[in-house]
Copies of this chain bind each other. A is one copy, B any other.
Amino acid sequence: MNVTEEIRSMGEKARAAGRELAKLGSRKKNAILESMAAAIDESRKGIRDANGRDMEAARAAGLSDAMMDRLQLTDARLDGIVDAVRKLEELPDPVGQQLSQWQRPNGLEIRKVRVPIGVIGMIYEARPNVTVDAAALCFKTSNAVILRGGREALQSNMALTEALRRGGERSGMPADAVQLITTTDYAAVTELVRLEGLVDLVIPRGGEKLIRAVAEQARVPVIKHYKGICHVYVDAAADQTMALDIVENAKCSRPGVCNACEKVLVDRTIAKEFLPKLAERLGARGVELRGDEEARNVVPAMKAATEADWDEEYLDLVLAVRTVEGAGEAIEWINRHGSHHSDSVVTEDEAVKERFCAEVDSACVYTNASTRFTDGGEFGMGAEIGISTDKLHARGPMGLEELTTYKYIVTGTGQIR
């Protein structure tokens, strides 16, 4: 079987499994999730052995320490993985939920009801925990999933998937509800994202390069974010102490993630007062500041920002700082240079808050809070399969509801048109 046939065959099996999943009730699904969790728990030795082989190969291939760290499955991380599956059992099942209902003058009753999307393709990079997270989230919402992880994690992902399938089957899950692509041939990804009619949605997670390649090749819908260029705008009417806390947190609490702040815009009128404090606060945290000319006039120690700085996602302890002419210029700048992910204004001025929230075209717009809250868990969704900066279907953090679609069920008594 060549790659094309192999992936198509996986798609067909997933579609068939999806039809069976749609018939499972919430209680049954939770029992299956519990079996999955238990199977991972009892397969720790095999999973850690497999992970050891991945780690060895990674070391031989000269992967960076950061990559190695992401790849490693310690016992504590396995605890976390098992706990995450169990936590899903407690969350409400969105499938079957009635979104609205109305009756037409001719007596037709129309109900709009949440249903599974069907078959989801998940393409991701090194962290093996995504294998379990994605499988469990898709299963909880009665979707079949086809997983394609990074080649560095192949042995780990195979061991985890084997446990998930074995555990799931024990409680009545159709095994093909969870499938892992094991070929490392990149053609498998291209085939997967073109399986119109068999794959309903592809979610890529990883670096911008991976996501762009998927989006360009795809024929099926893709939900994604390329990057997070998040701004904090410090308005003239800001509580500056609050602004310092928010910028420090948004920049430093975890600089490598997509909701970290990459740029600060400061109202020109407070630049002289605010920027030295900012430089001091962030300097103490080891952050490199890159400023526009005006900012450097105030804090000459800042590096000069180049044009490229305004569109770059550093994912590091680097922050670009720019002065602007009030909220209007800040909004325009963010809409032009941001990534429509998460942007925040710090201000005590209600009119500025309102304008910023109305006009900034981002998935999540904040007033007086850190951009780091853009996260399914922090939003209270209980789980997250990804973050979308697309505008269609799902925007912002994607939890269980975002893994469903709806259908209309129309009940008649013989109505004709």
State the A residues within 8 Å of B (CB).
Answer: 19, 22-23, 102, 104, 108, 110, 115, 117-118, 200-201, 215-216, 219, 221, 223, 239, 242, 245-246, 248-250, 253, 335, 353, 357-359, 361-370, 372-373, 378-380, 390-393, 395-396, 405-417
Task: Report which of B365, B368, B380, B395 forms a contact with A409, defined as CB distance below 8 A.
Answer: B365
On chain B, the residues within 8 Å of A364 by CB distance are 407-408, 410
On chain B, the residues within 8 Å of A200 by CB distance are 391-392
The answer for the CA separation of A350 and B200 in the assembled complex, in Å, is 30
- With A368-B411, A411-B367, A414-B246 already in contact, the answer to whether A395 and B391 are too (CB < 8 A) is no
On chain B, the residues within 8 Å of A395 by CB distance are 405-408
Establish whether residues B249 and A417, one from each chain, have CB atoms under 8 Å apart when the complex forms.
Answer: yes
- With A104-B378, A416-B245, A416-B370 already in contact, the answer to whether A201 and B391 are too (CB < 8 A) is yes
Establish whether residues A412 and B378, one from each chain, have CB atoms under 8 Å apart when the complex forms.
Answer: no
Across the two chains, which residue of chain B brings its CB closest to A197?
Answer: B340
Task: Report which of B201, B215, B370 forms a contact with A219, defined as CB distance below 8 A.
Answer: B215
Smallest CB separation, A358 vs chain B (Å):
7
Establish whether residues A416 and B372, one from each chain, have CB atoms under 8 Å apart when the complex forms.
Answer: yes
The 4 closest A-B pairs by CB, nearest first: A369-B412, A249-B416, A393-B393, A372-B417
Task: Report which of B22, B242, B253, B393 forms a contact with A417, defined as CB distance below 8 A.
Answer: B253
On chain B, the residues within 8 Å of A365 by CB distance are 407-410
- With A19-B335, A391-B118, A392-B221 already in contact, the answer to whether A363 and B417 are too (CB < 8 A) is no
Smallest CB separation, A216 vs chain B (Å):
7
Task: Report which of B358, B367, B412 forms a contact with A23, defined as CB distance below 8 A.
Answer: B358
**Listed residue (A117, A118, A358, A410) with the most chain B CB atoms within 10 angstroms of its CB:** A410
